[in-house]
Amino acid sequence: MNNITLPVKNHFGEVTIPLPSSKSESNRVLIVDALTEGQNQISNLAEARDTQTMIRLLAEDPETLDVLDAGTTMRFLTAYAALTNRRKTLTGTPRMCERPIGILVDALRAIGAKIEYKGKEGYPPMETLGFEKQLTNKVQIRGDVSSQYISALLMNAPLLPEGLTLELTGKIGSKTYITMTLELMKQFGIAYSFEGNTISIAPQSYKNTSFAVESDWSGASYWFSLLACADEGSFFLKGLKENSLQGDSKIVEIMDKLGVQSEFKDDGILLTKKAITGLGSYDFTHCPDLAQTVAVTCALIGQKSQFTGLESLRIKETDRIYALQQELAKFNAKLEEGENGAFTVIPSTDIPANVTIETYDDHRMGMAFMPLVTKTSVTLLDKEVVNKSYPSFWKHCVLAGIEAQ
């Protein structure tokens, strides 16, 4: 394993971070482009391994689609292969084969696709065996496990002979990602309605479009956190827009309470330090990928806070609740589970010298704990972990003056 040790640094000057492009937007636009078989002008696709895997699998079109550890790539390609009548085996890393997919497979089968599990029922690997006839255009689907199942179905919906109406049942999680899918489809000419818990898309064609992928707000969150934890500095994050398709732009509102002021400029956002007012309680239901960043920030800046809406964290790249609890404990901070899905971040009052953080094959563990450099020397186990969404992360750390020892 390739580790990285970073010495303490808590004063920054004026730093500009180029930021990577969003993997969520990239993976959607790639599926839409594959479905239109058209002449779209797509720019700024993400360098993220999850996106590069999607590009490669769509271009090479192998019999077995091995998505590695990319959740969106697995879910989006499953629906794409199943509903466009392709015969494919879909598989991934051992962890991917522990991440549930039964809710999506059940919906695809209800629509008329033939799919067989190759291992455990409800989990990859599986094989898509064809789609001859649409059996229904009304499907009920749980909204509380992963929004990726819903996005995966929606992107194929306009091309189904009878269109598709999805009724979302239970609590809806990651709703901002569903809206991202629908709004991106709208930019490619698709009309939809989303009223209450029901999304309807009539049969229609995608229109050729130019689409530039925005910078990644989830990746931006680590720079907000670094500044919140630092004594001084200002960061300019390039390529972020005020009206974003990405729900993780909520980091602006969160970090405003944790001491970071944001000012939108023409080609990005300027972050400066301001007084902390306190986060109090925050619901991460619709921005689950920010939870690790914000937990580490609160732990490092002495902000006891309540977190809710963390249910989906247990089925991501790793069990992120467990991983956070283990690693926060290394510097005497805690993520305590309370009642009804509420958690409390108990900040550290004693940060030891030289902390070593495990990353659990989870890019966000590596990146979220990087701001520890503002308080102590930190070793992150497996520096390559960041490649899933942000391969240039350590290069960007060097731009900020954070260099490996």
Ligand X SMILES: O=C(O)C1=C[C@@H](OP(=O)(O)O)[C@@H](O)[C@H](O)C1
Token readout for 104 is 């999506």
- Residue of 289, 350, 361, 382 with catalytic role: 289
Q: How many Cα atoms occupy the beta-carbon half-sphere of 328 within 13 Å?
A: 27
Closest of 45, 10, 8 to residue 231, by C-alpha: 10
Closest of 298, 171, 179, 315 to residue 244, by C-alpha: 179
Cβ(313)–Cβ(288) under 8 Å? yes
Buried b (16+ CB within 10 A) or exposed e, 224-237: bbbbbbbeebbbbb
Binding residues among 269-308 for ligand PEP as defined by CB under 6 A: 289
Binding residues among 323-382 for ligand PEP as defined by CB under 6 A: 364
Binding residues among 116-145 for ligand X as defined by CB under 6 A: none
Give CA–CA dist 304/298, Å, rounded.
7
**Which of 74/269 has CB closer to ligand X?**
74
Task: Find the part of the chain contacting ligand X (CB under 6 A) among 170-178, 220-228, 261-269, 355-363.
Answer: 170-178
Binding residues among 303-332 for ligand X as defined by CB under 6 A: 312
**Which of 131/149 has CB closer to ligand PEP?**
149
* 70 interacts with, out of ligand X, ligand PEP, none, CB within 5 to 8 A per kind: ligand PEP
**Which of 179/376 has CB closer to ligand X?**
179
Closest of 207, 114, 110 to residue 153, by C-alpha: 110
Cα distance between the two ends of the chain: 16
Q: Measured between alpha carbons, how far is residue 231 from residues 12, 151, 247, 371 in Å?
A: 8, 41, 28, 12
Binding flags for ligand PEP, 235-254, as an x/- string (CB under 6 A) = --------------------
Per DSSP, the residues of 118-149 read: SSSTTSS-EEEEEE-S---SEEEEESSS-HHH
State the minimum distance, in angstroms, from the CB of residue 385 to ligand PEP.
12
Is residue 49 at the binding interface for ligand PEP, with CB under 6 A as the rule? no
Cβ(254)–Cβ(276) under 8 Å? no
Q: Please give the size of the binding site for ligand X, defined by CB under 6 A.
A: 12
State the minimum distance, in angstroms, from the CB of residue 395 to ligand X.
22
* 151 interacts with, out of ligand PEP, ligand X, none, CB within 5 to 8 A per kind: ligand X
Q: Which of 80, 131, 177, 343 binds ligand X (CB under 6 A)?
A: 177
Q: Which of 36, 51, 72, 215 binds ligand PEP (CB under 6 A)?
A: 72
**Which of 150/230 has CB closer to ligand PEP?**
150
Is residue 293 at the binding interface for ligand X, with CB under 6 A as the rule? no
In the chain, the amino acid numbered 314 is R
Is residue 148 at the binding interface for ligand X, with CB under 6 A as the rule? yes
Whether residue 289 lies in the annotated active site: yes
Q: Which of 4, 21, 24, 104 binds ligand X (CB under 6 A)?
A: 24
Buried b (16+ CB within 10 A) or exposed e, 379-405: bbbbbbbbbbbbbbbbebbeebebeee
* 177 interacts with, out of ligand PEP, ligand X, none, CB within 5 to 8 A per kind: ligand X
* 364 interacts with, out of ligand PEP, ligand X, none, CB within 5 to 8 A per kind: ligand PEP
Q: Please give the size of the binding site for ligand PEP, defined by CB under 6 A.
A: 8
State the minimum distance, in angstroms, from the CB of residue 324 to ligand PEP.
13
Phi, psi (degrees; rounded to nearest 5) at 17: -115, 125
Radius of gyration, alpha carbons of the chain:
21
Which residues are known catalytic residues? 289
Residues that bind ligand X (CB under 6 A): 24, 72, 146-148, 151, 173-174, 177, 288-289, 312
Residues that bind ligand PEP (CB under 6 A): 70-72, 289, 316-317, 364, 389
